[in-house]
Amino acid sequence: MRVTKTVKEYIEKEVSSRIYKKYEAEEACAKYEDEQKEKLYEACMKAAQAAVEQIVNENKLDFIETNRIDDCLNLRYNTFTIKDGNDINSCHRWKSRFNAEVNERVNEIIVELELGGDRAKLTEMLGAL
């Protein structure tokens, strides 16, 4: 069976939806950690802003205006990082592992179909995922 673009897209969609379940927990973990990192950043920026305003007020310099500290500093992505976030086994790298597995499975299915598989074989291979 020759695999057309339409059949390949169908296979990719089916394989992705079946394999995704395996990575849902990692995606949730990465989302949680990113949310916590963002909350920490916001708390630090709020505390830093309060400290700046306090110091300016204590010095009674009427000609000084304070700007928002996060407008002055580009710290959002450099201040905090997720420990081992770039490790291949990190939950933050779930998407690359997911894509690699999907591509591998799709290629296996396409090769099998092009070597003589049919719709029944395709259904069987998708069911085995």
Q: For residues 92 and 118, what is the distance between their CA atoms, to the nearest angstrom?
A: 38
Summarize pLDDT for 50-84 with one digit per residue, the tens: 888 888 788 887 777 776 666 656 555 566 677 77
Q: Which helix (H) or strand (E) holds 22?
A: helix 5-59
Up-side HSE of residue 59: CA atoms within 13 Å toward CB? 12
Exposed, middle or buried, 97 (CB in 10 Å: 0-12/13-18/19+)? Answer: middle
Domain housing 109:
5-127
- What mean pLDDT do residues 83-99 have? 84
Q: Does 43 score more than 60 pLDDT?
A: yes
CB atoms within 10 A of CB 53: 12
Where is pLDDT greater, at 56 or 114? Answer: 114
- What mean pLDDT do residues 6-33 have? 92
Number of domains in the chain: 1
